[in-house]
């Protein structure tokens, strides 16, 4: 009988072919979409500076409104295609030893102005003795940034976001705990389903993409939430024993 590796290899090859196919299709859609948006901008310019006393002013105003609507839909579709390409891309990670605390700190510093504008207080509890982990910095940061954005957007009236790191078993954990409205059981059950979203204009691919990135690092991601009690996202990453700790070197 074929081994598990032999069975999984064709599936991996099939997935790679499918990912390449949908990625090429998305690119083919994105190119004419960009052309459509550009032509809408040029068309809008043709309506600029019309004579207010012209009898065609009302017609021109309606035409400009329709042009703006098409432009907005082009922007929405371009964002959706970008999110879809991120989700469909078969990640080829470059995992290198790194400090989770350092990555999180730098990302929170970058994110601070956005959180402040939204009235969200970010509180950090970063374990100084956290062991190092293997990370692909760019992809991992994109996953955490997406989760931070989700948390802040959920707290429309402001609130608190606690970001905590700690050791856990043979790995490390990062927790993001917000004081938002939380999710009911149905929403929570569908949170990682592709294209499922409760946000207007959302693609529904942020959480599935974050989970894909975390799992590509050999980790897991879990969400706990309840209406009126906020949401906690927990990410666990393995910490190989041979890697040194992220604390001060021994003397």
pLDDT digit of tens for each residue in the chain (251 aa)?
A: 444 444 445 555 555 565 566 666 666 777 777 787 777 777 777 777 655 556 667 777 777 777 887 877 777 777 667 666 666 665 567 888 989 999 999 999 999 999 999 999 999 999 998 999 999 888 888 889 889 988 998 898 889 999 999 998 889 999 999 999 988 888 888 887 766 666 665 556 678 888 888 888 889 999 999 898 899 999 999 987 754 545 444 44
In whole angstroms, give the CA distance from residue 157 to residue 119: 7
Residues linked to residue 233 through DSSP beta bridges, in sequence order:
176, 223
In whole angstroms, give the CA distance from residue 118 to residue 115: 5
Q: What is the pLDDT of residue 116?
A: 92
In whole angstroms, give the CA distance from residue 110 to residue 120: 14
Q: Parse the chain into domains and list their residue ranges.
A: 4-88, 96-238
In whole angstroms, give the CA distance from residue 103 to residue 172: 13
Q: What are phi and psi of 223, to 5 degrees?
A: -125, 130
Is residue 245 packed enough to be buried (19+ CB in 10 Å), middle (13-18) or exposed (0-12)? Answer: middle
Enclosing H/E stretch for 45 = helix 4-46
The angle subtended at Cα 68 by Cα 64 and Cα 70, nearest 5°, is: 115
Is residue 224 helix, strand or coil? strand
The domains spanning 4-88 and 96-238 adopt the same CATH topology: no
CATH topology of domain 96-238: Heat Shock Protein 90 (3.30.565)
Residue 82: partners with Cβ closer than 8 Å, 6 or more residues away: none
Q: What is the pLDDT of residue 231?
A: 93
Residues linked to residue 165 through DSSP beta bridges, in sequence order:
126, 174
Residue 22: partners with Cβ closer than 8 Å, 6 or more residues away: 84, 88
Query: Where would I find the beta strands (DSSP E) of the chain?
Result: 96-98, 120-126, 133-135, 159-168, 171-178, 220-225, 231-238
Q: What CATH number does the domain located at 4-88 have?
A: 1.10.287
């Amino acid at each position: 009988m074929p081994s598990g590796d032999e069975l999984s290899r064709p599936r991996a090859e099939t997935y790679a072919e499918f990912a390449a196919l949908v990625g090429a299709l998305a690119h083919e859609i994105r190119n004419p979409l960009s052309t459509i948006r550009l032509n809408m901008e040029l068309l809008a310019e043709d309506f600029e500076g019309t004579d207010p006393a012209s009898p065609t002013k009302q017609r021109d105003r309606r035409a400009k409104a329709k042009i703006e609507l098409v432009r907005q839909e082009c922007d929405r579709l371009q964002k959706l295609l970008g999110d879809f390409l991120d989700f469909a891309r078969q990640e080829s990670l470059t995992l290198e030893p790194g400090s989770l605390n350092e990555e999180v700190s730098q990302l929170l510093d970058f994110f601070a102005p956005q959180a402040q504008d939204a009235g969200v207080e970010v509180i950090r509890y970063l374990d100084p003795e956290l062991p190092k982990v293997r990370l692909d910095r760019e992809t991992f940061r994109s996953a955490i940034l997406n989760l931070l954005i989700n948390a802040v957007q959920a707290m429309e009236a402001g609130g608190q976001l606690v970001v905590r790191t700690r050791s856990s078993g043979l790995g490390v954990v990062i927790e993001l705990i917000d004081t938002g409205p939380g999710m009911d059981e149905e929403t929570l059950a569908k949170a990682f389903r592709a294209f499922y979203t409760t946000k207007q204009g959302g693609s529904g691919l942020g959480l599935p993409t974050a989970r894909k990135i975390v799992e590509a690092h050999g980790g897991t991601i879990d969400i706990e939430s309840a209406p009126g009690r906020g949401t906690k996202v927990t990410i666990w990453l393995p910490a190989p024993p041979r890697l040194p700790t992220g604390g001060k070197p021994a003397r």
